[in-house]
Amino acid sequence: MKKNTPSSENVVWHHAAVTKKRREQLNGHRAVNLWFTGLSGSGKSTLAHAVEERLYELGCRTFVFDGDNVRHGLCGDLSFSLEDRHENIRRIGEMVNLFLQAGVIALTAFISPMRRDRQMLREIVGEGEFVEIYCRCPLEVCEERDVKGMYKKARAGEIANYTGISSPYEEPVKPSLVLDSGSLPLGECVEMVIRFLRERKVIGQD
């Protein structure tokens, strides 16, 4: 787990008596970050919430960070430039890290288009707790699913810096899990994630 150096030397890290390990033991599962990345329309948010529902049924402590929701509060002051996207991801990483210390399984649904930003997350959260899940979906399928009409606006030049159209998306090189969300049913994708978590001993068996 990486800790950024605070701007003031008078800020000292406080070590809690109730540790992450003790919270995990109480919860009955490990705390990890399931980071869903992919183009807009690839099914990240839908999948994250469906996985959370499944984990909830299994008695797990969870929380979903959704890209749009976060930009209504914590990151409401940021634009969609590459610099502000980097800061958006950094803030989320630090928030997720706090949830992991609380023993929670944190699910995050963000386009997070740049590899350097996802590498930064690994350093903030920790390699063992960061689970990169690539929702692989062809651009044409994402555009067909464009319920918000954002791709259409981006194609028309009404939206700048739109990932996949006027801004790049760098596919993960070695993701923890790849889900072909453009073709696989939602339920199958959910069970693939649950199976992965059981194999990694994040959650228990049936």
> Within a 10 A sphere around the Cβ of 18, how many other Cβ atoms?
11
Of the candidates 73, 62, 133, 48, the one whose C-alpha atom is nearest the C-alpha of residue 102 is 62
Active-site annotation holds for 112: yes
Positive or negative torsion for Cα 134, 136, 140, 144? negative
Three-state DSSP at 57 gives helix
Query: Which position among 42, 45, 112, 181 bears the catalytic label?
Result: 112
**Cα(203)–Cα(135) distance, integer angstroms:** 22
Give the residue numbers annotated as catalytic, written as ranges.
Answer: 112
